[in-house]
A and B are shown apart, each in its own frame.
Chain A
Amino acid sequence: MAQSSPGSACLLPVSQTAPPWADRMEEAFDHAARSAGGVVEHRYRIGGYPVHLRFAGPALVPQLASALSHLATSDAEPSLTISAWDGASTGTSVPPGPWNDPGVQPGQTHLCAGERIRAVFYPDPPLMSFLDEPAGRAFFWTTDPASIPFYESGSPFRPIFNWWMSAHGRQFAHAAAIGTSAGGALLVGRGGSGKSTTALACLEAGLMYAGDDHCLVSADPSPHVYSLYSSGKLNPDSLARLPRLRAAVTNVGRLDSEKALVFLAAPGGGLVVTGFPLRAIILPQVHGGAETEVVPVSPAAALLALAPSTMLPLPRSDAKGLNALATLTRQLPCYRIRLGACLEDAPRVIARLLSES
Protein backbone atom coordinates (compact mmCIF):
# COMPACT_ATOMS: atom_id res chain seq x y z
CA MET A 1 0.00 0.00 0.00
CA ALA A 2 1.32 3.43 -0.89
CA GLN A 3 1.80 5.81 1.96
CA SER A 4 -0.41 8.86 1.91
CA SER A 5 1.57 11.69 0.35
CA PRO A 6 1.13 14.66 -1.96
CA GLY A 7 2.89 12.63 -4.68
CA SER A 8 0.26 9.92 -4.59
CA ALA A 9 -2.44 12.48 -5.40
CA CYS A 10 -0.81 13.17 -8.77
CA LEU A 11 -1.00 9.63 -10.11
CA LEU A 12 -3.15 9.41 -13.22
CA PRO A 13 -6.58 7.84 -13.06
CA VAL A 14 -6.63 4.23 -14.18
CA SER A 15 -8.46 5.27 -17.35
CA GLN A 16 -5.45 7.34 -18.52
CA THR A 17 -2.06 5.95 -19.37
CA ALA A 18 1.18 7.84 -19.90
CA PRO A 19 3.96 6.42 -22.08
CA PRO A 20 6.18 4.02 -20.20
CA TRP A 21 8.42 5.88 -17.80
CA ALA A 22 11.46 3.84 -18.86
CA ASP A 23 10.97 4.86 -22.50
CA ARG A 24 10.93 8.50 -21.44
CA MET A 25 14.14 7.93 -19.53
CA GLU A 26 15.69 6.40 -22.64
CA GLU A 27 14.62 9.38 -24.74
CA ALA A 28 16.10 11.79 -22.21
CA PHE A 29 19.41 9.92 -22.22
CA ASP A 30 19.51 9.91 -26.03
CA HIS A 31 18.90 13.65 -26.05
CA ALA A 32 21.61 14.15 -23.44
CA ALA A 33 24.07 12.06 -25.46
CA ARG A 34 23.42 14.07 -28.62
CA SER A 35 23.93 17.29 -26.67
CA ALA A 36 27.20 16.06 -25.17
CA GLY A 37 28.73 14.79 -28.40
CA GLY A 38 27.96 11.11 -28.13
CA VAL A 39 28.00 8.07 -25.86
CA VAL A 40 31.06 6.97 -23.90
CA GLU A 41 30.75 3.27 -23.22
CA HIS A 42 32.49 1.08 -20.63
CA ARG A 43 32.02 -2.67 -20.29
CA TYR A 44 32.38 -4.70 -17.13
CA ARG A 45 31.79 -8.16 -15.72
CA ILE A 46 30.06 -7.64 -12.38
CA GLY A 47 28.93 -10.54 -10.24
CA GLY A 48 29.62 -12.75 -13.22
CA TYR A 49 27.28 -10.77 -15.47
CA PRO A 50 28.19 -8.50 -18.41
CA VAL A 51 27.20 -4.92 -17.57
CA HIS A 52 27.48 -1.97 -19.95
CA LEU A 53 27.82 1.55 -18.64
CA ARG A 54 26.87 4.29 -21.11
CA PHE A 55 27.67 7.92 -20.38
CA ALA A 56 26.22 10.90 -22.23
CA GLY A 57 29.54 12.59 -22.90
CA PRO A 58 32.64 12.31 -20.72
CA ALA A 59 31.71 14.49 -17.74
CA LEU A 60 30.58 11.74 -15.36
CA VAL A 61 33.22 9.17 -16.29
CA PRO A 62 35.89 10.07 -13.69
CA GLN A 63 33.32 10.28 -10.92
CA LEU A 64 31.42 7.08 -11.63
CA ALA A 65 33.68 4.69 -13.57
CA SER A 66 36.87 4.75 -11.51
CA ALA A 67 35.62 2.36 -8.82
CA LEU A 68 34.64 -0.24 -11.43
CA SER A 69 37.75 -0.18 -13.63
CA HIS A 70 39.14 -3.46 -12.24
CA LEU A 71 36.09 -5.29 -13.65
CA ALA A 72 36.57 -4.12 -17.24
CA THR A 73 35.78 -6.66 -19.91
CA SER A 74 35.16 -6.94 -23.62
CA ASP A 75 31.88 -8.84 -23.31
CA ALA A 76 29.65 -7.82 -26.16
CA GLU A 77 26.11 -8.54 -25.07
CA PRO A 78 25.08 -6.99 -21.74
CA SER A 79 22.71 -8.42 -19.20
CA LEU A 80 22.32 -4.94 -17.71
CA THR A 81 22.84 -1.53 -19.32
CA ILE A 82 23.15 1.57 -17.15
CA SER A 83 22.79 4.89 -18.93
CA ALA A 84 24.05 7.91 -17.00
CA TRP A 85 23.91 11.63 -17.69
CA ASP A 86 24.12 14.92 -15.85
CA GLY A 87 22.21 18.15 -16.29
CA ALA A 88 25.17 20.53 -16.27
CA SER A 89 27.14 19.17 -19.23
CA THR A 90 24.20 17.96 -21.35
CA GLY A 91 21.53 20.54 -20.60
CA THR A 92 19.10 17.64 -20.17
CA SER A 93 17.06 17.10 -17.06
CA VAL A 94 15.48 13.86 -15.87
CA PRO A 95 11.85 13.18 -16.89
CA PRO A 96 9.39 14.27 -14.18
CA GLY A 97 8.72 11.97 -11.29
CA PRO A 98 6.62 12.18 -8.14
CA TRP A 99 9.36 14.29 -6.61
CA ASN A 100 8.27 17.07 -9.00
CA ASP A 101 4.66 17.07 -7.87
CA PRO A 102 3.34 20.40 -6.57
CA GLY A 103 3.15 20.43 -2.83
CA VAL A 104 5.93 17.91 -2.32
CA GLN A 105 8.08 18.88 0.62
CA PRO A 106 11.63 19.78 -0.39
CA GLY A 107 14.44 17.61 0.90
CA GLN A 108 12.53 14.32 0.83
CA THR A 109 13.90 11.11 -0.57
CA HIS A 110 11.37 9.44 -2.86
CA LEU A 111 11.10 5.76 -3.70
CA CYS A 112 8.95 4.42 -6.52
CA ALA A 113 8.29 0.71 -6.38
CA GLY A 114 6.42 -1.57 -8.72
CA GLU A 115 6.78 -5.08 -9.94
CA ARG A 116 8.77 -3.89 -12.92
CA ILE A 117 10.01 -0.37 -12.19
CA ARG A 118 12.03 0.85 -9.21
CA ALA A 119 13.38 4.34 -8.77
CA VAL A 120 14.86 6.38 -5.95
CA PHE A 121 15.45 10.12 -5.89
CA TYR A 122 17.81 11.62 -3.31
CA PRO A 123 17.46 15.38 -3.00
CA ASP A 124 20.78 16.59 -1.66
CA PRO A 125 22.63 16.45 -3.92
CA PRO A 126 20.04 15.43 -6.51
CA LEU A 127 20.72 11.84 -7.58
CA MET A 128 18.24 9.59 -9.34
CA SER A 129 18.56 5.84 -9.88
CA PHE A 130 16.04 3.95 -11.99
CA LEU A 131 15.73 0.29 -12.92
CA ASP A 132 13.53 -1.50 -15.46
CA GLU A 133 14.58 -4.97 -14.33
CA PRO A 134 12.90 -7.23 -16.94
CA ALA A 135 14.35 -5.11 -19.76
CA GLY A 136 17.80 -5.01 -18.14
CA ARG A 137 18.03 -1.25 -18.45
CA ALA A 138 18.79 1.31 -15.78
CA PHE A 139 19.31 5.04 -15.66
CA PHE A 140 21.27 7.40 -13.44
CA TRP A 141 21.01 11.16 -13.43
CA THR A 142 22.44 13.99 -11.37
CA THR A 143 22.51 17.75 -11.74
CA ASP A 144 26.27 18.32 -11.80
CA PRO A 145 29.27 15.96 -11.71
CA ALA A 146 31.00 18.33 -9.30
CA SER A 147 28.25 17.75 -6.73
CA ILE A 148 28.65 13.95 -6.61
CA PRO A 149 29.74 13.12 -3.05
CA PHE A 150 32.86 11.07 -2.37
CA TYR A 151 30.86 8.11 -1.10
CA GLU A 152 28.95 7.96 -4.39
CA SER A 153 32.19 8.05 -6.39
CA GLY A 154 33.58 5.29 -4.22
CA SER A 155 30.44 3.13 -4.47
CA PRO A 156 28.45 4.20 -7.56
CA PHE A 157 25.06 2.86 -8.62
CA ARG A 158 24.41 1.05 -5.33
CA PRO A 159 20.58 1.02 -5.57
CA ILE A 160 20.71 -0.24 -9.16
CA PHE A 161 23.21 -2.98 -8.38
CA ASN A 162 21.31 -3.97 -5.24
CA TRP A 163 17.99 -4.30 -7.06
CA TRP A 164 19.25 -5.97 -10.22
CA MET A 165 21.82 -8.30 -8.67
CA SER A 166 19.41 -9.57 -6.01
CA ALA A 167 17.08 -10.63 -8.81
CA HIS A 168 19.97 -12.56 -10.37
CA GLY A 169 21.32 -14.54 -7.46
CA ARG A 170 23.81 -12.02 -6.11
CA GLN A 171 23.21 -10.34 -2.76
CA PHE A 172 24.59 -6.91 -2.02
CA ALA A 173 26.61 -6.95 1.21
CA HIS A 174 28.01 -4.22 3.41
CA ALA A 175 31.28 -6.01 3.94
CA ALA A 176 34.94 -5.98 3.10
CA ALA A 177 36.43 -9.02 1.43
CA ILE A 178 40.01 -10.23 1.74
CA GLY A 179 41.61 -13.56 1.12
CA THR A 180 44.41 -15.88 0.16
CA SER A 181 44.77 -18.64 -2.38
CA ALA A 182 42.96 -20.84 0.18
CA GLY A 183 39.89 -18.65 -0.08
CA GLY A 184 38.72 -15.55 1.67
CA ALA A 185 36.58 -13.95 4.33
CA LEU A 186 33.97 -11.29 4.64
CA LEU A 187 34.72 -8.63 7.21
CA VAL A 188 31.39 -7.45 8.56
CA GLY A 189 30.21 -4.82 11.00
CA ARG A 190 28.73 -1.38 11.10
CA GLY A 191 30.67 1.73 10.23
CA GLY A 192 33.61 2.30 12.55
CA SER A 193 34.09 -1.35 13.43
CA GLY A 194 37.44 -1.54 11.65
CA LYS A 195 36.43 -3.28 8.42
CA SER A 196 38.07 -0.86 6.02
CA THR A 197 41.26 -0.43 8.02
CA THR A 198 41.64 -4.18 8.50
CA ALA A 199 40.94 -4.87 4.82
CA LEU A 200 43.45 -2.30 3.64
CA ALA A 201 46.03 -3.57 6.12
CA CYS A 202 45.53 -7.03 4.60
CA LEU A 203 46.00 -5.55 1.14
CA GLU A 204 49.24 -3.90 2.28
CA ALA A 205 50.40 -7.27 3.60
CA GLY A 206 49.84 -8.91 0.22
CA LEU A 207 46.49 -10.62 0.74
CA MET A 208 43.93 -10.56 -2.04
CA TYR A 209 41.47 -7.68 -1.80
CA ALA A 210 37.96 -7.58 -3.26
CA GLY A 211 36.59 -4.47 -1.57
CA ASP A 212 36.48 -2.57 1.69
CA ASP A 213 32.85 -1.61 2.09
CA HIS A 214 30.49 -3.24 -0.43
CA CYS A 215 30.59 -6.45 -2.41
CA LEU A 216 28.30 -9.07 -3.90
CA VAL A 217 27.88 -12.50 -2.34
CA SER A 218 26.20 -15.73 -3.28
CA ALA A 219 25.75 -19.06 -1.55
CA ASP A 220 24.83 -21.14 -4.60
CA PRO A 221 26.44 -23.49 -5.41
CA SER A 222 28.89 -22.54 -2.65
CA PRO A 223 29.76 -19.33 -0.77
CA HIS A 224 31.50 -16.85 -3.03
CA VAL A 225 32.25 -13.14 -3.04
CA TYR A 226 32.35 -10.96 -6.14
CA SER A 227 34.22 -7.68 -6.05
CA LEU A 228 32.15 -4.64 -6.86
CA TYR A 229 34.27 -1.56 -6.15
CA SER A 230 38.03 -1.08 -6.17
CA SER A 231 37.78 1.86 -3.82
CA GLY A 232 38.81 2.18 -0.21
CA LYS A 233 37.70 4.78 2.29
CA LEU A 234 39.76 5.67 5.35
CA ASN A 235 39.34 8.04 8.25
CA PRO A 236 42.39 10.18 9.13
CA ASP A 237 43.58 7.86 11.92
CA SER A 238 43.55 4.84 9.65
CA LEU A 239 45.26 6.73 6.83
CA ALA A 240 48.03 7.64 9.26
CA ARG A 241 48.52 3.93 9.96
CA LEU A 242 48.69 3.06 6.25
CA PRO A 243 51.02 5.77 4.91
CA ARG A 244 51.74 4.00 1.62
CA LEU A 245 48.16 4.67 0.56
CA ARG A 246 48.49 8.43 0.97
CA ALA A 247 49.73 8.89 -2.56
CA ALA A 248 46.54 7.25 -3.90
CA VAL A 249 44.10 9.57 -2.08
CA THR A 250 41.89 11.36 -4.63
CA ASN A 251 40.18 13.93 -2.38
CA VAL A 252 43.19 15.31 -0.55
CA GLY A 253 41.75 18.81 -0.33
CA ARG A 254 38.56 17.73 1.43
CA LEU A 255 39.78 15.43 4.20
CA ASP A 256 38.42 17.76 6.85
CA SER A 257 34.88 16.79 5.82
CA GLU A 258 35.30 13.51 3.91
CA LYS A 259 36.97 10.17 4.41
CA ALA A 260 40.07 9.66 2.30
CA LEU A 261 39.02 7.98 -0.96
CA VAL A 262 41.50 5.75 -2.78
CA PHE A 263 41.09 3.69 -5.94
CA LEU A 264 43.23 0.57 -5.77
CA ALA A 265 43.00 -0.92 -9.24
CA ALA A 266 46.25 0.02 -10.89
CA PRO A 267 46.40 0.01 -14.70
CA GLY A 268 46.91 -3.57 -15.70
CA GLY A 269 45.33 -4.80 -12.48
CA GLY A 270 47.00 -6.59 -9.62
CA LEU A 271 45.85 -5.07 -6.36
CA VAL A 272 42.16 -5.88 -6.54
CA VAL A 273 40.80 -9.28 -7.53
CA THR A 274 37.42 -10.02 -9.03
CA GLY A 275 36.43 -12.45 -6.27
CA PHE A 276 37.12 -15.71 -4.51
CA PRO A 277 35.44 -18.55 -2.61
CA LEU A 278 34.47 -17.67 0.94
CA ARG A 279 35.79 -19.65 3.90
CA ALA A 280 34.74 -17.53 6.87
CA ILE A 281 32.93 -14.47 8.16
CA ILE A 282 34.92 -12.24 10.51
CA LEU A 283 33.67 -9.45 12.76
CA PRO A 284 36.42 -6.90 13.48
CA GLN A 285 36.42 -5.34 16.92
CA VAL A 286 38.90 -2.70 17.93
CA HIS A 287 40.41 -3.93 21.19
CA GLY A 288 43.77 -2.22 21.41
CA GLY A 289 45.38 -4.83 23.59
CA ALA A 290 48.78 -6.36 23.09
CA GLU A 291 47.55 -9.31 21.07
CA THR A 292 45.26 -9.75 18.08
CA GLU A 293 43.13 -12.82 18.61
CA VAL A 294 40.23 -14.65 16.99
CA VAL A 295 37.26 -16.16 18.85
CA PRO A 296 34.29 -18.04 17.40
CA VAL A 297 30.90 -16.32 17.36
CA SER A 298 27.43 -17.55 16.56
CA PRO A 299 25.82 -17.25 13.12
CA ALA A 300 23.26 -14.97 14.74
CA ALA A 301 25.98 -12.59 15.90
CA ALA A 302 27.40 -12.54 12.38
CA LEU A 303 23.98 -11.87 10.85
CA LEU A 304 23.38 -9.06 13.33
CA ALA A 305 26.68 -7.51 12.25
CA LEU A 306 26.01 -7.98 8.53
CA ALA A 307 22.31 -7.56 7.80
CA PRO A 308 21.21 -4.23 9.29
CA SER A 309 24.02 -2.16 7.79
CA THR A 310 23.49 -3.92 4.46
CA MET A 311 19.72 -3.67 4.23
CA LEU A 312 18.60 -0.59 6.12
CA PRO A 313 20.45 2.03 4.05
CA LEU A 314 19.41 0.52 0.72
CA PRO A 315 15.99 1.39 -0.69
CA ARG A 316 13.51 -1.46 -1.03
CA SER A 317 15.41 -4.22 0.69
CA ASP A 318 13.30 -7.27 1.41
CA ALA A 319 13.04 -10.61 3.17
CA LYS A 320 14.82 -12.34 0.29
CA GLY A 321 17.94 -10.30 1.01
CA LEU A 322 17.88 -11.14 4.71
CA ASN A 323 17.45 -14.80 3.90
CA ALA A 324 20.40 -14.73 1.49
CA LEU A 325 22.66 -13.21 4.13
CA ALA A 326 21.42 -15.63 6.77
CA THR A 327 22.23 -18.55 4.47
CA LEU A 328 25.84 -17.40 4.32
CA THR A 329 26.13 -17.11 8.09
CA ARG A 330 24.79 -20.65 8.43
CA GLN A 331 27.20 -22.05 5.86
CA LEU A 332 30.40 -20.35 7.00
CA PRO A 333 32.26 -20.42 10.31
CA CYS A 334 32.01 -17.06 12.02
CA TYR A 335 34.62 -15.35 14.16
CA ARG A 336 35.33 -12.11 15.95
CA ILE A 337 38.83 -10.71 15.50
CA ARG A 338 39.83 -8.62 18.49
CA LEU A 339 42.27 -6.17 16.94
CA GLY A 340 45.30 -5.41 19.03
CA ALA A 341 47.40 -2.31 18.95
CA CYS A 342 49.67 -3.61 16.17
CA LEU A 343 47.75 -3.35 12.91
CA GLU A 344 50.23 -5.58 11.11
CA ASP A 345 49.15 -8.55 13.24
CA ALA A 346 45.66 -8.67 11.71
CA PRO A 347 46.67 -9.92 8.21
CA ARG A 348 48.86 -12.63 9.73
CA VAL A 349 46.10 -13.84 12.06
CA ILE A 350 43.52 -13.78 9.27
CA ALA A 351 45.78 -15.63 6.84
CA ARG A 352 46.39 -18.34 9.42
CA LEU A 353 42.66 -18.61 10.12
CA LEU A 354 41.88 -19.00 6.42
CA SER A 355 44.51 -21.68 5.98
CA GLU A 356 42.91 -23.66 8.83
CA SER A 357 39.28 -23.17 7.70
Chain B
Amino acid sequence: MPSERYQVHPKIVSEIIDGEVIILNLDRGRYYSLTVAGTDVWDAIGRAASAEEIVDELLGRYDGARGEVERAVHQLLDELRREELILSLSAGQAGLATPGSGGFAPPPGAGEKVPFQPPVLQAYTDMEDLLLLDPIHEVDESGWPNRPPDQPASSP
Protein backbone atom coordinates (compact mmCIF):
# COMPACT_ATOMS: atom_id res chain seq x y z
CA MET B 1 0.00 0.00 0.00
CA PRO B 2 1.61 3.28 -1.02
CA SER B 3 2.66 5.56 1.83
CA GLU B 4 0.33 8.41 2.58
CA ARG B 5 1.57 11.74 1.23
CA TYR B 6 0.76 15.20 2.46
CA GLN B 7 0.25 18.63 1.03
CA VAL B 8 -0.26 22.09 2.47
CA HIS B 9 -3.96 22.92 2.76
CA PRO B 10 -4.99 25.23 -0.13
CA LYS B 11 -6.36 27.82 2.28
CA ILE B 12 -3.06 28.18 4.09
CA VAL B 13 -0.35 30.70 3.24
CA SER B 14 3.14 30.28 4.58
CA GLU B 15 6.64 31.60 4.23
CA ILE B 16 9.94 29.98 5.17
CA ILE B 17 12.26 32.71 6.33
CA ASP B 18 15.57 32.49 8.09
CA GLY B 19 15.04 28.84 9.04
CA GLU B 20 11.56 29.44 10.48
CA VAL B 21 8.12 28.92 8.98
CA ILE B 22 5.34 31.46 9.45
CA ILE B 23 1.93 29.97 8.68
CA LEU B 24 -1.35 31.86 8.41
CA ASN B 25 -4.81 30.31 8.36
CA LEU B 26 -6.71 33.18 6.76
CA ASP B 27 -10.07 31.49 7.24
CA ARG B 28 -9.75 30.81 10.97
CA GLY B 29 -7.68 33.81 11.99
CA ARG B 30 -4.90 31.70 13.49
CA TYR B 31 -1.22 31.82 12.81
CA TYR B 32 1.66 29.50 13.64
CA SER B 33 5.40 29.12 13.58
CA LEU B 34 7.78 26.19 13.26
CA THR B 35 11.53 26.16 13.66
CA VAL B 36 14.52 23.89 13.06
CA ALA B 37 13.26 20.36 12.39
CA GLY B 38 9.72 21.70 12.11
CA THR B 39 10.82 23.90 9.22
CA ASP B 40 12.32 20.88 7.53
CA VAL B 41 9.07 18.94 7.95
CA TRP B 42 7.03 21.79 6.47
CA ASP B 43 9.43 22.12 3.58
CA ALA B 44 9.08 18.40 2.88
CA ILE B 45 5.28 18.63 2.98
CA GLY B 46 5.58 21.34 0.35
CA ARG B 47 7.22 18.67 -1.81
CA ALA B 48 4.39 16.19 -1.13
CA ALA B 49 6.61 13.91 0.95
CA SER B 50 5.35 10.91 2.87
CA ALA B 51 5.93 10.47 6.58
CA GLU B 52 8.62 7.87 5.88
CA GLU B 53 10.44 10.20 3.50
CA ILE B 54 10.28 12.99 6.05
CA VAL B 55 11.75 10.72 8.74
CA ASP B 56 14.55 9.62 6.42
CA GLU B 57 15.38 13.21 5.52
CA LEU B 58 15.49 14.27 9.15
CA LEU B 59 17.74 11.35 10.06
CA GLY B 60 20.11 12.51 7.33
CA ARG B 61 20.36 15.90 8.99
CA TYR B 62 19.83 15.33 12.70
CA ASP B 63 21.35 12.96 15.22
CA GLY B 64 18.52 11.00 16.77
CA ALA B 65 17.06 7.52 17.11
CA ARG B 66 14.72 6.48 14.32
CA GLY B 67 11.95 5.67 16.75
CA GLU B 68 12.18 9.07 18.39
CA VAL B 69 12.13 10.86 15.05
CA GLU B 70 9.22 8.77 13.78
CA ARG B 71 7.13 9.53 16.87
CA ALA B 72 7.89 13.23 16.63
CA VAL B 73 7.07 13.39 12.90
CA HIS B 74 3.77 11.54 13.27
CA GLN B 75 2.80 13.68 16.25
CA LEU B 76 3.50 16.86 14.29
CA LEU B 77 1.65 15.60 11.22
CA ASP B 78 -1.36 14.76 13.38
CA GLU B 79 -1.30 18.21 14.90
CA LEU B 80 -0.96 19.89 11.53
CA ARG B 81 -3.97 17.94 10.29
CA ARG B 82 -6.03 18.78 13.37
CA GLU B 83 -5.28 22.46 12.81
CA GLU B 84 -6.31 22.03 9.15
CA LEU B 85 -2.91 23.15 7.92
CA ILE B 86 -2.20 20.07 5.80
CA LEU B 87 -4.17 17.48 3.87
CA SER B 88 -3.49 13.89 2.99
CA LEU B 89 -3.14 13.43 -0.72
CA SER B 90 -5.71 11.08 -2.17
CA ALA B 91 -4.51 7.97 -3.95
CA GLY B 92 -5.12 9.66 -7.31
CA GLN B 93 -3.40 12.85 -6.27
CA ALA B 94 -0.48 10.93 -4.79
CA GLY B 95 0.12 9.30 -8.14
CA LEU B 96 0.51 12.72 -9.73
CA ALA B 97 2.57 14.26 -6.97
CA THR B 98 6.29 14.71 -7.36
CA PRO B 99 7.77 12.83 -4.43
CA GLY B 100 10.05 14.78 -2.18
CA SER B 101 13.37 14.62 -3.91
CA GLY B 102 16.84 15.66 -2.97
CA GLY B 103 16.06 16.03 0.71
CA PHE B 104 17.47 18.90 2.67
CA ALA B 105 20.72 20.57 1.74
CA PRO B 106 23.20 20.18 4.59
CA PRO B 107 23.95 23.41 6.38
CA PRO B 108 27.01 25.19 5.04
CA GLY B 109 30.23 23.76 6.43
CA ALA B 110 28.40 21.24 8.57
CA GLY B 111 29.96 17.82 8.58
CA GLU B 112 28.25 16.73 11.77
CA LYS B 113 24.60 16.27 12.50
CA VAL B 114 22.98 18.41 15.12
CA PRO B 115 21.01 16.76 17.93
CA PHE B 116 17.38 16.14 17.04
CA GLN B 117 14.81 18.09 18.99
CA PRO B 118 11.12 17.21 18.49
CA PRO B 119 9.49 20.04 16.54
CA VAL B 120 6.90 22.17 18.30
CA LEU B 121 4.04 23.88 16.49
CA GLN B 122 3.63 27.29 18.09
CA ALA B 123 0.01 28.41 17.65
CA TYR B 124 -1.32 31.94 18.11
CA THR B 125 -5.03 32.59 18.50
CA ASP B 126 -5.01 36.22 19.61
CA MET B 127 -6.47 37.44 16.35
CA GLU B 128 -9.27 34.90 15.93
CA ASP B 129 -11.90 37.36 17.10
CA LEU B 130 -10.97 39.80 14.35
CA LEU B 131 -12.02 37.35 11.70
CA LEU B 132 -15.69 37.93 10.99
CA LEU B 133 -16.04 36.67 7.45
CA ASP B 134 -18.83 34.19 6.84
CA PRO B 135 -19.94 33.38 4.24
CA ILE B 136 -17.73 33.80 1.16
CA HIS B 137 -19.44 33.97 -2.24
CA GLU B 138 -17.60 33.18 -5.44
CA VAL B 139 -18.83 35.39 -8.27
CA ASP B 140 -18.11 35.48 -11.97
CA GLU B 141 -16.54 38.34 -13.90
CA SER B 142 -19.74 40.35 -14.02
CA GLY B 143 -20.39 39.91 -10.32
CA TRP B 144 -23.32 38.84 -8.16
CA PRO B 145 -25.78 37.26 -8.76
CA ASN B 146 -24.16 35.64 -11.79
CA ARG B 147 -22.84 32.22 -10.96
CA PRO B 148 -19.32 31.26 -12.01
CA PRO B 149 -19.53 28.82 -14.94
CA ASP B 150 -18.00 25.93 -13.01
CA GLN B 151 -20.18 26.28 -9.92
CA PRO B 152 -23.09 23.84 -9.67
CA ALA B 153 -26.55 24.98 -8.62
CA SER B 154 -26.96 24.85 -4.85
CA SER B 155 -29.91 23.29 -3.11
CA PRO B 156 -32.12 25.89 -1.42
B contacts with A, residue count (CB < 8 A):
41
Known: A2-B151, A12-B147, A309-B127. Is A21-B142 also a contact (CB below 8 A)? Answer: yes
A74 at the B interface (CB under 8 A): no
CA–CA, A91 to B115, complex, Å? 70
Partner of A315, one of B133, B140, B146: B133
A contacts with B, residue count (CB < 8 A):
58
B133 touches A12 (CB 8 A): no
A98 touches B17 (CB 8 A): no
CA–CA, A330 to B15, complex, Å? 12
A14 at the B interface (CB under 8 A): yes
B13 touches A319 (CB 8 A): yes
Q: Which residues of chain B in 107-121 are interfacial with respect to chain A, using CB atoms and an 8 Å cutoff? A: none
B142 touches A322 (CB 8 A): no
CA–CA, A111 to B144, complex, Å? 11
A13 touches B147 (CB 8 A): yes
B22 touches A307 (CB 8 A): yes
B136 touches A3 (CB 8 A): yes
B142 touches A17 (CB 8 A): yes
CA–CA, A312 to B31, complex, Å? 9
Binary flags per residue of B118-156, CB closer than 8 Å to A gives 1, else 0 = 000000101100111111111111111111110101111
Partner of A313, one of B20, B130, B137, B155: B130
Binary flags per residue of A8-45, CB closer than 8 Å to B gives 1, else 0 = 11111110111111100000000000000000000000
- In order of increasing CB-CB distance, the 6 nearest A-B pairs are A21-B143, A5-B135, A300-B20, A11-B147, A117-B143, A319-B13
Question: Which B residues have a C-beta under 8 Å from some C-beta of A?
Answer: 13-15, 17-20, 22, 24, 26, 29, 31, 33, 124, 126-127, 130-149, 151, 153-156
Question: Which A residues have a C-beta under 8 Å from some C-beta of B?
Answer: 1-5, 7-14, 16-22, 97-98, 108-117, 119-120, 122, 132, 190, 298-300, 303-304, 307-309, 311-313, 315, 317-319, 321-323, 326, 329-330
